């Protein structure tokens, strides 16, 4: 069994790490490079940086931050937000990132996933999906930082992304995001029934038990979280020890 991954998520807005609740009430947290160094030292397996306003504001990615993070950390990290072309992939990877996460641009142009996977390899391509459940109980895809509902079935989109060549799916539940009451286990289970690539659980971590639930009940391959790490509510190594004692294989 592959080791489960613990991934701090850093939402970046104009050069600062921020955090909100249900994609609203955004508050300033810290400098992204300083926070990345802390997480690398504390035992995080990977990092994810999202430029949360790049797509909405139709501007490019923060390459200076990518370069500075690459100089300071020795664990893999992914960059998302404002990625619109294969050339954007190339620029981010050359700046030092290990993976590139696409969301809005992939919905607008699914061919981007296939083109990037063919050029750089599926291991570099993360399809990030922001999803919320509608009145019929179907999870729908949102883009532009959660501002726009595409009314597209999120599970079907994840499967299509896999077929196009995405190496993993990061599924962020907008319903549970920032609420700290646990990941959307039903959504994770639904995904794992149709996908063969790794699924990253995102949105809802509030305590260590939630990570355990995501791995055991949700069958997630990795768990992403933000505020519980940003505000030092959960220590990463303590979390790994907790999981290891419950027979979850993690990198120590």
Q: Which of the residues are catalytic?
A: 11, 130
* Residue pair 78/97 in contact by the 8 Å Cβ criterion: yes
Find, among 138, 199, 144, the residue nearest to 5 by Cα.
199
CA distance linking residue 84 with residue 151, whole number of Å: 21
Structure tokens at 78: 């992914």
Q: Where are the beta strands (DSSP E) in the chain?
A: 5-13, 16-21, 24-30, 47-51, 77-80, 99-102, 125-133, 139-143, 148-153, 168-173, 199-202, 222-225
Place of tokens 């459940």: 133
Antiparallel, parallel or unpaired: β 125-133 and 139-143: antiparallel
Q: d(Cα 161, Cα 226) in Å, to the nearest integer?
A: 25
By the 10 Å C-beta count (0-12 exposed, 13-18 middle, 19+ buried), 49 is classed as buried
Contact 91, 61 (CB under 8 A): yes
In degrees and rounded to multiples of 5, residue 153 shows phi and psi of -65, 120
């Amino acid at each position: 069994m592959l080791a489960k991954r613990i991934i701090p998520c850093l939402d970046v807005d104009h050069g600062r790490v921020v955090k909100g609740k249900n994609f609203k009430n955004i508050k300033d947290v810290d400098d992204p490079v300083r926070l990345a160094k802390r997480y690398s030292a504390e035992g995080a397996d990977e990092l994810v940086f999202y430029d949360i306003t790049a797509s909405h504001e139709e501007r490019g990615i923060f390459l200076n931050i990518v370069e500075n993070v690459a100089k300071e950390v020795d664990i893999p990290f992914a960059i998302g937000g404002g990625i619109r072309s294969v050339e954007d992939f190339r620029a981010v990877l050359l700046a030092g990132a290990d993976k590139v996460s696409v969301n809005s641009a992939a919905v607008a142009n699914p061919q981007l996933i296939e083109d990037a996977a063919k050029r750089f390899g599926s291991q570099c391509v993360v399809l990030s999906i922001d999803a919320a459940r509608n009145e019929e109980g179907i999870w729908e895809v949102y883009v532009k930082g959660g501002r726009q509902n595409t009314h597209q079935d999120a599970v079907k989109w994840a499967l299509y992304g896999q077929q196009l060549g995405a190496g993993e799916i990061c599924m962020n539940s907008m319903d549970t995001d920032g609420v700290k009451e646990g990941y959307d286990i039903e959504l994770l289970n639904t995904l794992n029934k149709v996908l063969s690539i790794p699924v990253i659980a995102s949105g809802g971590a509030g305590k260590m038990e939630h990570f355990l639930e995501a791995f055991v009940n949700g069958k997630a391959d990795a768990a992403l979280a933000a505020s519980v790490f940003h505000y030092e509510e959960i220590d990463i190594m303590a979390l790994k020890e907790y999981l290891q004692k419950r027979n979850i294989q993690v990198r120590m």
